[in-house]
Chains A and B, each alone.
Chain A
Amino acid sequence: MSPHTVSSPKNRPKYYDLNLLNLPTPGLVSIFHRITGVAMFLFLIPLALFILQTTLSSEAGFASWKGYFAHPLVKLIVVGFVWSFMHHLFAGVRYLLLDLHIGIAKVPAQNSARVVLVAGLVATAVFAARIW
């Protein structure tokens, strides 16, 4: 092995720019895809199952959840989950298209990332307007 191929990982500089605002749009879509995915795994899966169970088990259970959902703070949490879901969904569709080699050039990829961010926010806004 020539000395040029020997790398020393310890001496390589590491640079983490943790400021999200410095990310290009596709990077922003990507990190939100991750965060929303983990958040839905941790909170939405058990919560959704719990709600499905209580609302199906009795009329009283259904009514109590209808009551909770009328609370503004709960509405805010629901809107947060709706954004998580919609962003994750739109970003996922973008990845499926990229897998099919649709829009993989730099400019179309940047544009589709912007579309994903805006579409997630618009869908959430439409939902929020409907429940308020």
Chain B
Amino acid sequence: MKNTKQPVGAHYGWKDWMIQRVTAAVMLVYSVLILGFFLLHGSVAFADWKQLFQNQLVRILSLLFFFAVFYHAWIGVRDVLMDYIKPFFIRLSLQVAVCLFLIVCSIWTVSILWGN
């Protein structure tokens, strides 16, 4: 294992470190906007909720938010797995599972935002 790269390691360190922070900022801004919406509407009715997500800009910002969530979750969970799961094959399997799950979530998000 001396001169080989670990395929389950974070060999793209600083880039992911930066992405983790940029996605955090995106989520923070979106969260404040959504919180503002709920504070403006004391009680949200179905019509308000539906109308909000009919807006193309809201859909795009929501997609951006969810993609930020998924990428952020991938980096975070991968780091946790690297810290606690040492056996190569178990770690790789879990990382693949996390990855696939988040890809499915991404597709699901698109279908929710544009399918309703």
Give the B-binding residues of A (Cβ under 8 A). 34, 37-38, 40-41, 45-46, 49, 52-53, 55-57, 59, 62-63, 89, 92-93, 96, 99
- Nearest A residue to B38 via CB reads A130
Q: How many Å from the CB of A37 to the closest CB on chain B?
A: 5
In the bound complex, how far is the Cα of B50 from the Cα of A34, in angstroms?
A: 34
CB within 8 Å of A: which of B33-49?
46, 49
Flag whether B77 is at the interface (Cβ < 8 A). yes
Contact A52:B112 (CB < 8 A) given known A38-B77, A62-B49: yes
Measured between alpha carbons, how far is A92 from B24 in the docked complex, in Å? Answer: 8
Name B residues whose Cβ lies closer than 8 Å to a Cβ of A.
21, 24-25, 28, 31, 46, 49-50, 53, 66, 69-70, 73, 76-77, 80, 98, 105, 108-109, 112, 116
Q: Is the CB of B49 within 8 A of A96?
A: no
Residues in A neighbouring B50, C-beta threshold 8 A? 56
In the complex, which of the residues B31, B73, B108 contacts A49, with contact meaning CB atoms closer than 8 Å?
B108
CA A41 – CA B98 in complex, angstroms? 9
Q: List 5 A-B contacts (CB under 8 A).
A: A37-B73, A37-B76, A41-B76, A52-B112, A63-B46
CB-CB nearest in chain A for B62:
A52
